[in-house]
Each structure stands twice: as structure tokens, then as C-alpha cells.
Amino acid sequence: MISNSIKWIVIFSMFLTLSSNVIAQDLILSTPSRGIPGPTTEFTYLCQTATQNTNHFTTFTVISGTVQSAANFQLHLSKDNFSPFTIVANGATFANGRYTMNFTLPTDTYGTGYRLRVINTSQSTNEPKSLSFGAYYIIHNQQIPVTFSNCSGTSTTISIVNTGDNSSPLFYPYLKYRWTRRVGATDTILTGETTSSITVTTPGEYFVETEYGECTPSFLSRSVLVPIAGGGTNSLQITAENGTTEVCQNPGVVLTLNVAFNPQHIYTWFLNGTAITNAPNSNSYTATQGGNYTASYNNNTCTTNSNNTISLTETSFNASLNVASPYQLAVGSNFDAIVTTDANTPEFSWTLNGAPLSENSNTLNIDALGEYIVQIRQTVGCISTKELTLVVIGPDVSDIPNLISPNGDGINDLFKVPFQYISENNLNLEIYNSSGKQIFITDNYQNNWPQDTNLVFQSNAFFYFKMSKDNQTIKEGILTIIK
């Protein structure tokens, strides 16, 4: 037992189990006599959860005097000048000349201004108090549920949801909060905003944390990022990668909205006013062609349209064909379709009516009708492609008649076709009566049928004809005979 007349000094040390969240330093207690300086602390805050930092202990040494029983020591915690205080440890253990006291923070520990003191319960006097420090029991340590709306008016209110149980920090009415706005990689704490809701007008991403002082960044009591466009419907902005105004098909240009990605929200991208059907549901889109880009964003409450347009000019190359489309191919003839281009190291591929052709140069010999497409790919520099379409048609057959009147009046007496078909003396003509019997055939038609009008008028008034040249059908159909 220590006599009141004997002065003693206790050297007090505090150690904690999670050094990344707390600082553990020595606390020095001097004599209990009046006028003696109080204890000092070098640590500034303590943090504890239900599973982390649960075991703290102090060690101290009595420099002067003798203590007969370690059970006489008691450790007090208070932030109200020890009126009241909480007893956090009773008794000490003694080994190797030092006393040790283990303690844990009460679950309602929250705030700054806490102090510790060690007393000897066998004496009537209280010992000097330590310097003040912050101490927090992390009573809420999970994601904070929030709600918000973001379309109408000029401001948006974000609120912590009161779930009615401890999944929401509102279950603990003494807690305060820290609101932060994130723009890019910069976080700005909103000074003075400590309540459970906030009204904002500035675009950015917002989140709220339970205010645990120096312990705040290290624990889980935080909301998701809430993207706020702000300013009503005129705040959704698109930016182009590096501010570029030109686009190359490969690699393209990344366009980004000023709201964070949330897989529960809907992002729609438009090119020249039309929704891009294959665009991913994302707050960014890689543009690969020129045009005017806009976007909309739906946060499951309402839809916001971008108030700016990104106009991109396609960086490409020139390419053209030596013939215009449609090209009329004479019966039995052919021609070369030739691509002229300034593409860097180009590659060529051709198709006919969608089927690939074997030709891979800039020249294709064409002798058949159909739709030809040539794709030119620039393989060096800005990797890009361009397609040219050439439609090849046959001769105009509208001047080939489907009615004659061989009555000897000199008008429309013969089945006459345009000169271009008979000029090369290889026009094949077949004529059948209504019973399917062939009544005329030649491989060098010269506009001279019918030669026997009596035979024609003895038959039915309808005939079927087929006209071809070099095995290519020119026209076939019904030929009507009238007197």
C-alpha cells in the first residue's frame, strides 16, 4: 500500500493490435500531489470494431514508492472531465518490473476529447489525466444505403436510407457523416456537411461516410458513388478522348459521359440522331466513324440528355472506280473495273451479290450482271476501310415490243428489236405457239418475223418468245398478234 506522503511516478504505455489504424505511444503519469503536471500522451486517436483492434493494453512502472497489490489499479476513460467516466479495466498484472492493464473501448465510444487516467483505488486521490485524444468504436461498418433523384430542377438531394435496423447508420442517432465530391481522381470533402442528407448543384460523383475522425478512411461504412449531373437536364456532358475532333476506324475515339458507370442504369449513344444499336450499356463509347454523337442517361428515376454534341471528322483515304454505277453491260461483252486509291498499302476484296470472289487486286474483269462491292483496307497508319459499290445491268429491253399487227399496213408488221441487238449477227430468237410448239428459231435474227402472215393468223393470237445472245438471255415473254 502506498502512503499519501510518498510521491510516485507511473510510466504508462498503450499498444493496439491494428497499427495501420492507430498510433501506440507512451503515456506518463506524474505524482498525484497538487501542482504536479498532468500525464502526457503521444498517440492521437484509437479505433476499434467488433472484430478489429479489440484488445488494447497499457503498461506502466512505479518509479518511486511500493505497491503491495496490482489489483488496486483501475483505468478510467472519459471525455467529460471524468464526470462521468467509464471504468475500462480493473486490476493489473505485474511482470519484469512493469504493470499491465488490458482494456477495450465501450461500444458507444465516439468522438474527440477523450482522456485516460490510472488510479490506485487504495488511495482517495485521483491521478492526473492524460492529454485528450480521439476514440471511435466503429459501430456501423458496412455499406451505407442511399437514395437520390437527378433530373428535375436545379438541385439534387442525396439521402441516407433509414432501413429501421442496424444496416443503416441512422440506427445510431449520435453518428455524424462526411460527404465527399469526386471529380476525376480528385476528392473534395464538403466542409460543414455532417447530416444524413445533402443537396447539391455541382456535377460530380458523391459519396457519404460515417464520420469516424482519423479512423474514417480505413473502414467500410461508406456509400456507393452517386453520379450527379446537376443543373437539371442541361448538365450531361460528353468529352472526346484528348479533345480530338478526328476519328480513325482503328483504334477509334473514346467518348465519355460525366457520370459514373452503374450497371443498373441505362446509357444510350446516338450517331446523327439515331441510337447506335450495338453500343454497350456504358458511360463510354468508342466511336469509329465520323458524325455527330450525343447520349442520354437514365438513372431509373428519369432520363437526362446530353447538352452537347461531339462532332468527329473521319480520317480516311480516297478511292474511286473507273466506271459509274449502274453500268450497262452489252450482251456478250466484258470490261475491267479498276479502283484508284491513295490508301497506304491497301488490300482489296471483291464480292458479287454478297458472295466473295477470288480477285484481290484493284482490278476485276466483269462479264456478268449483278451487284459488285469492293472493300479497300488501308493497312498502314490509320487502319480503316472503305467500300465501293458497282451495279452492272444488261441492255435496256423496254424497246423490245410485246405486240405486233402484221396486217400489211406497213406499221408494226414485223417483230423488230433495236439495232444494237442485231448488229453483230448473233441474236438468237425462239418463238413458240400457245400449245408450246416451236414455230420459229434462228441464231441470226434480222427483224424479219413473221414472213408468213397466214400461218400467224391461223394460230392463236398469243405466242411465247425467248431472245438471247452468247447464251445470255436478253428478254422472254408473251408476244401478242392482232390484225
- Output the pLDDT for position 227: 74
Give the three cell numbers for residue 316. Answer: 480516311
Neighbours of 181 (CB within 10 A): 20
Cα 471 to its chain centre, rounded Å, is 58
pLDDT over 80 (residue 25): no
- pLDDT tens by residue, 459-473: 567 899 999 887 788
- pLDDT tens by residue, 46-82: 899 999 888 887 777 766 555 557 778 888 999 988 8
State yes or no: cis peptide before 263, omega within 30 of 0: no
For 96-122, what is the mean pLDDT?
Answer: 87
SS3 459: coil
- pLDDT tens by residue, 400-424: 888 988 888 888 889 988 877 777 6
In which band, very low, low, confident or very high, does the pLDDT at 29 lie, cut at 50, 70 and 90? very low
The answer for 346, left when phi > 0, alpha when psi is -120 to 50, beta otherwise, is beta
Task: Identify whether the C-beta of residue 14 lies closer than 8 Å to the C-beta of residue 58.
Answer: yes
R_g (Cα) of the chain, nearest Å: 47
Side-chain-facing half-sphere of 31: CA atoms under 13 Å: 13
For 21-30, what is the mean pLDDT?
Answer: 34
Give the three cell numbers for residue 138. Answer: 466503429
Taking Cα atoms as reference points, which of 429, 431, 427 lies closest to residue 469? 427
For 248-258, what is the mean pLDDT?
Answer: 87
- pLDDT tens by residue, 274-323: 999 999 999 999 998 889 999 998 877 677 788 889 999 887 789 999 99
The CA distances from residue 243 to 75, 214, 234, 289, 310, in Å, are 63, 40, 20, 16, 10
CA–CA gap between residue 28 and residue 12 (Å, rounded) = 5
Q: Which amino acid is at 289?
A: Q
Task: Identify whether the C-beta of residue 67 lies closer than 8 Å to the C-beta of residue 9.
Answer: no
pTM above 0.75, yes or no: no
- Output the pLDDT for position 229: 61
Please provide the distance, in angstroms rounded to a whole number, between the alpha carbons at the two ends of the chain. Answer: 148
Task: Identify whether the C-beta of residue 199 lies closer than 8 Å to the C-beta of residue 254.
Answer: no
